[in-house]
Amino acid sequence: MGRYFAIRIARALLTIILVVTFAFVVLRLSGDPSLMILGPEAPPEVLAAFRKAWGLDDPIWMQYVDYFGAIAKGELGRSMRDGRPAIQLVLERIPATLALTLPAFAFKVALGIPAGIYAALNRGSAIDRAVMITAVAGFTVPSFVLALLLVLVFAVQLGWLPSGGQEGWRHAILPIATLGLGGAAVLARFTRSAMLEVLGQPYIRTASAKGVPWRKVVTSHALPNAAIPTVTVLGFMVGTLIAGAVVVESVFAWPGVGRLLVVAVANRDLAVVQCILLLVALTMVTSNLIVDFLYGFLDPRLRAKGAHA
Amino acid sequence: MSPLVSIEGLSVAFNGVPVLHGVDLSLRKGEAIGLVGESGSGKSVTWLAALGLLPRHARVSGSVRLDGREILSAPAATLDQVRGGRVAMIFQDPASALNPVLTIRKQLCEALALHRDLSGDALKVEARRLLDLVGIPDAARRLSAYPHEFSGGQVQRIMIAMALAGNPDLLVADEPTTALDATIQAQILDLLSQIRREMGMAMVLISHDLGVVAENCDRVAVMYAGRIVEEAPATALFDDPWHPYAQGLIGALPPLDGPRRRLTAIPGTVPDPSKMPAGCAFAPRCTVASEQCGVGAPSLAPLGDARAVACIRAEASRRALLGIAAE
Amino acid sequence: MSAPLVEVSAISRTYTMRSGMFGRSTAVHAVDGVSFSIRKGETLGLVGESGSGKSTTGRIVLGLEPPDAGEVRFDGEPMAAPGTREWRAQRARMQMIFQDPLGALDRRLVVAEQVREPLDIHGLGTRAEREVRVQELLRSVELSAQHGRRYPGALSGGQRQRIVLARALATKPDFLVCDEPVSALDVSIQAQVVNLLADLQAQLGLTMLFISHDLRVVRQISNIVAVMYLGRIVETGSADDLFARPQHPYTQALVSASPAPGRRSAGRIVLSGDPPNPAARPSGCAFHPRCPLAIARCVTELPALASVASDRQVACHLVTGPEAQSRDAA
């Protein structure tokens, strides 16, 4: 069991190293940083001094090592626009994004999973069909369309809610609903098919044949098995907590990480973009790690594979 | 003696397509009865339907009585008492018959807690005793293992232990050894007959393998296309089958010793349940069929000493077979 | 007596099993020193339980897998290296059919086209001739032209296996390896296919290696039978005689475990212990932990396959060694 987790952690670290290396390569490929920061009209002696100060004259492997050292210390360069450390800019925006994505995540889980389970248990019923139609609509409609639709109905037509900005909790409702509805649809579909798969397994029939009441067959035999594939989707959703709201933040003018990314890309603010990308990679890797850990707890077969291998 | 289980006119349809057409079968206490037939003959469906284990879209009609009490339309709570308590069932595929994420202890104790007045340590002691009984070595330690840590034969032993948890009067074994190697099959069949002797339990052995059924059952019912076509004591059936299909099945089995002969293959294939021929379902493949056979499906008619056959040409068919044998 | 078409001498195959990134590796002796020969027009039946190495043996004989040691000779020539022209020429003379016909067929092509495929690949005959040959092949497996126009999904299991057989026969092979060809079929259909195989063999003079776990089917179709246990042949003899008078304790147990109508379970030999695991092969005679008759010598010394009669070879100390006499005396 310890071995299973050790292998997973090693793999996660390796992924992070690869991502950082990738970022380093991309940065070096995108041109001479001294030129980019000081501009093409800078006098050559200034450029030389800058290069020396930032170690750009060092051999490439040394720069690579330094780059790692800097990242480990959280030094990710300064924003070209206001000169503040990029990491600080990004960190400032995280609470705003989480204020949308965390409630949306809770919404997805609270709505999607029970809907999926219910649909699977009542396969073919009117409710099952309603859930499935909603689910298909939910994830074929792009989030900006859904967002505009919600704005049209609840802000423009009914006038119940504001259409954008960040002045109070009422401003968060439409962005959260946009994020949550799509995710709940995806989750409902996954949960339903996972449940149907499990309900068709011989061990479910075995449980019924030994006299376990149906309600208990579902809770103690079907759900633990259906949880295994569902966790994968949940893990992916955790991975998008930071950067999954780019579109929605833009539509609703919500000042989160996603909007910062859009602005930074538009301004070619490389340090900020790099910082966000690293942060996204970090959350993705972490959520994958959490999923792997959960697998280990949920599925004894995987645990054994890691242990005996 | 009143029968332990009596099934009358049991019919099943899936999405409007009938797959079981009025099966009658009764079973005395302690008796071992075999159900043979090829895939799609309805041998498993009969017992899944009797115990309410078919999916919800299946339409089931007829009557199934246990000790005289109707269980087919019984409320769920009654059925849950019957299943695992009075009638236990084991299945074919050992690899997926046990829940992969629960320990053996959990799955065994669940059955014990449902049907026996046991709790706490007494549960664990009984679970261990059952594993010992079915021949799982080192039972105390193995209780905390998961299903994937056992071989196919061992899983089938655990399934048997779980089936015994409720001290059932009847064990329905649905192809219990089909997925296992020959020497392991012998172990499992041996275990089943030993347990039956010790506990006086009745058994229904569902199998496509005539040999397995012949060796382990007192009485055999042959099924074809959703009907019982012949029912007889095991020895009588194999020595002197009456129904042309039963004759065909026995003739299709290559002998293991003695002279080799050409196999008497039954021509054609089993009819599709949605395109059942009018009259006897076997008639299109039958060598002795007459025009009459296409008119109505023959019912299972008693035939003297504890035998019954559903064939209007049984006499002719038997003469034909004996004629060939006399040559 | 005709010359052997296939000669297998002392072939072995060892897999290294390793799971995970840093796992320990274990050697799995799938096949260990197996020798046999099949005369032209005859059938050798290979029986054994899972893990006996019978399928691996079949794959090596066909050249689908190289042996680690030993040699396979086909029609007097050693097997050519895979991919060479000689290899292709040899391969066209041998064909294989498996247990699962649906897996062997392409679901999106009508079956007649799949029967024609080997003719196209090997460029045999003109277009019109190929069409005629396809119809001929379908007839030879007792299917109609109408069956040929269907997709595999619209055929029954027995019909699919006939199609696979027709395709295998398209290039007029001399040698056919059948790996559990009827195991997935119902008894009545199984008999149809077994009869068909026997007929075709007689008509075409085919040589066959017939692999199955089913003693009855193997006996029905074979001239010679070899029984495998954990990668080795433990007994071989004529099909008529072997199961009637098995000599190796394992063969005896297998025969005894094969249920027969008209016989009650009394007197059945029930082997204790789990099925054999090729990754943990016992020392000496691999069967000794489950053998009811094992003696001290069986634990340490591997018995060689030795002749005990003109057409019978057994690998058992109790049958061939000095112990045999004392057992007979007792």
Higher-confidence position of B25 and B326: B25
Residue B258 has pLDDT above 90, yes or no: no
Residue B325 has pLDDT above 60, yes or no: no
Q: Are residues A147 and A283 in the same domain?
A: yes
Residue C260: the pLDDT is 75
Beta-bridge partners for B6: B26, B65
Going by the DSSP 8-state scheme, the letter that residue B83 receives in this structure is: B
Tell me if B281 sits within 8 A of B295, measured CB to CB: no
Higher-confidence position of B194 and A307: B194
Residue C232: the pLDDT is 94
Q: Are residues A189 and A40 in the same domain?
A: no
Residue C229: the pLDDT is 95
pLDDT tens-digit series, residues C174-186: 999 999 988 888 8
Instruction: List the strands of the sheet with C69-74, edge to edge.
Output: C26-39, C4-17, C69-74, C77-78
pLDDT tens-digit series, residues A270-293: 778 888 888 888 888 888 888 888
Mutate to test the interface with B, among A198, A206, A208, A231 (most CBs of B within 10 A): A206
Which residues in A lie closer than 8 A to residue C18 (C-beta atoms)? 309
Band (pLDDT 50/70/90 cuts) for residue C63 is confident
- Residue A301 in contact with partner chain B when CB distance is under 8 A: yes
H or E segment and range at residue C223: none
Residue B111: the pLDDT is 93
Tell me if B23 sits within 8 A of B228, measured CB to CB: yes
Q: Is B22 helix (H, G, I), strand (E, B) or coil?
A: strand
The proportion of chain C whose per-residue pLDDT surpasses 90, expressed as a percent, equals 48
Asked if A208's CB is within 8 angstroms of B97's CB, the reply is: no
Whole-prediction pTM value?
A: 0.85
**Total structural domains within chain A:** 2
We report the CATH number of the domain holding residue A301 as 1.10.3720.10
Asked if B114's CB is within 8 angstroms of A209's CB, the reply is: no
Going by the DSSP 8-state scheme, the letter that residue C292 receives in this structure is: T
Residue A132 has pLDDT above 60, yes or no: yes
pLDDT tens-digit series, residues C279-293: 888 999 999 999 999
What is the fold, at CATH topology level, of the domain defined by C4-81+211-329? Rossmann fold (3.40.50)
Return the amino acid letter for A82. D
CA distance A305 to chain C (A): 8
Q: Are residues A125 and A266 in the same domain?
A: yes
Residue A194 has pLDDT above 50, yes or no: yes
Mutate to test the interface with B, among C234, C265, C290 (most CBs of B within 10 A): C265
C-alpha–C-alpha distance, residues C251 and C239, integer Å: 13
- Residue A211 in contact with partner chain B when CB distance is under 8 A: yes
Higher-confidence position of B7 and A278: B7
Q: Are residues A205 and A268 in the same domain?
A: yes
pLDDT tens-digit series, residues A229-257: 898 888 888 888 887 788 888 888 888 88
Return mean pLDDT, chain C. Answer: 87
Determine the residue of chain B that is closest to A300 in CA distance: B101
Residue B28 has pLDDT above 80, yes or no: yes
H or E segment and range at residue C259: none
pLDDT tens-digit series, residues A56-72: 777 778 878 887 888 77
Band (pLDDT 50/70/90 cuts) for residue A99 is confident
Residue B326: the pLDDT is 44
Question: Given A15, A40, A72, which residue is the final one in a domain?
Answer: A72
Interface TM-score (ipTM) > 0.85: yes
Residue C327 has pLDDT above 70, yes or no: no
Residues written for chain B: 327
Largest distance between two CA atoms of chain A? 86
C neighbours by CB contacts (3+ pairs under 8 Å): A, B
CA distance A304 to chain B (A): 9
Band (pLDDT 50/70/90 cuts) for residue B324 is low
Residue C21: the pLDDT is 46
Return mean pLDDT, chain B. Answer: 90
Which residues in B lie closer than 8 A to residue A301 (C-beta atoms)? 100, 146, 148
C-alpha–C-alpha distance, residues B280 and B296, integer Å: 6
Return mean pLDDT, chain A. Answer: 83
pLDDT tens-digit series, residues A106-118: 999 999 999 999 9
C-alpha–C-alpha distance, residues C108 and C97, integer Å: 20
Which residues in C lie closer than 8 A to residue B186 (C-beta atoms)? 253, 256-257, 268-271
Residue C19: the pLDDT is 54
**Is residue A117 domain-resident?**
yes
End-to-end CA distance of chain C: 40
CA distance A106 to chain B (A): 27
Asked if A202's CB is within 8 angstroms of B91's CB, the reply is: yes
B137-176 burial: b if 16+ Cβ within 10 Å, else e: eebeebbebbbebbbbbbbbbbbbbbbbbbebbbbbbbbb
Band (pLDDT 50/70/90 cuts) for residue C326 is low
Asked if B254's CB is within 8 angstroms of C264's CB, the reply is: no
Q: Is C307 helix (H, G, I), strand (E, B) or coil?
A: strand
Band (pLDDT 50/70/90 cuts) for residue A304 is low
Asked if B96's CB is within 8 angstroms of A211's CB, the reply is: no
Note down the domain range covering A63.
2-72
Q: What is the mean pLDDT of residues B214-223?
A: 93
Return the amino acid letter for C195. N
Q: Are residues A294 and A166 in the same domain?
A: yes
CA distance C128 to chain B (A): 31
Q: Are residues A213 and A177 in the same domain?
A: yes
Residue A158 has pLDDT above 90, yes or no: no
CA distance B245 to chain C (A): 9
The proportion of chain B whose per-residue pLDDT surpasses 90, expressed as a percent, equals 57
CA distance C194 to chain B (A): 8
Residue C329 has pLDDT above 50, yes or no: no
Which residues in C lie closer than 8 A to residue A305 (C-beta atoms)? 19-20
Q: Are residues A22 and A140 in the same domain?
A: no
Q: Are residues A145 and A211 in the same domain?
A: yes
Classify residue A39 by burial, with Cβ atoms within 10 Å: 0-12, 13-18, 19+. exposed
Residue C41 has pLDDT above 70, yes or no: yes
Tell me if A300 sits within 8 A of B98, measured CB to CB: no
Going by the DSSP 8-state scheme, the letter that residue A218 receives in this structure is: I
A229 CB contacts (<8 Å, ≥6 apart)?
A190, A194, A197
pLDDT tens-digit series, residues A18-59: 888 887 787 666 666 666 666 667 777 777 777 776 667 777
Tell me if A33 sits within 8 A of A70, measured CB to CB: no
pLDDT tens-digit series, residues B183-196: 889 999 999 999 99
Largest distance between two CA atoms of chain B? 69
Q: Are residues A52 and A184 in the same domain?
A: no
Q: Are residues A30 and A124 in the same domain?
A: no
**C-alpha atoms less than 13 angstroms from C-alpha of C162 in its C-beta half-sphere:** 24
**Is residue A82 domain-resident?**
no
Residue A3: the pLDDT is 75
Q: What is the mean pLDDT of residues A185-193?
A: 91
Residue B157: the pLDDT is 93
Determine the residue of chain C that is closest to B249 in CA distance: C188
Determine the residue of chain B that is closest to A299 in CA distance: B101
Q: Is C44 helix (H, G, I), strand (E, B) or coil?
A: strand
Q: Which of A213, A207, A202, A216 is nearest to B88 (CA)?
A: A207
**What residues does each domain of chain C span?**
4-81+211-329
Which domains does chain B show, CATH number per domain? Answer: 5-217 (3.40.50.300), 246-326 (no CATH)
* DSSP letter string, B201-238: -EEEEEES-HHHHHHH-SEEEEEETTEEEEEEEHHHHH
Question: Given A44, A72, A100, which residue is the final one in a domain?
Answer: A72
Residue A293: the pLDDT is 85
H or E segment and range at residue B315: helix B314-326
Q: What is the mean pLDDT of residues C28-41?
A: 92
Instruction: List the strands of the sheet with B301-302, edge to edge.
Output: B87-90, B170-174, B202-207, B32-36, B219-224, B227-233, B308-309, B301-302
Mutate to test the interface with B, among C50, C159, C186 (most CBs of B within 10 A): C186
Residue B88: the pLDDT is 95
Q: Calculate the alpha carbon distances from C23 to A10, A304, A305, B17, C26 in Å.
A: 15, 12, 10, 53, 9
C-alpha–C-alpha distance, residues A168 and A183, integer Å: 24
Residue B327 has pLDDT above 50, yes or no: no
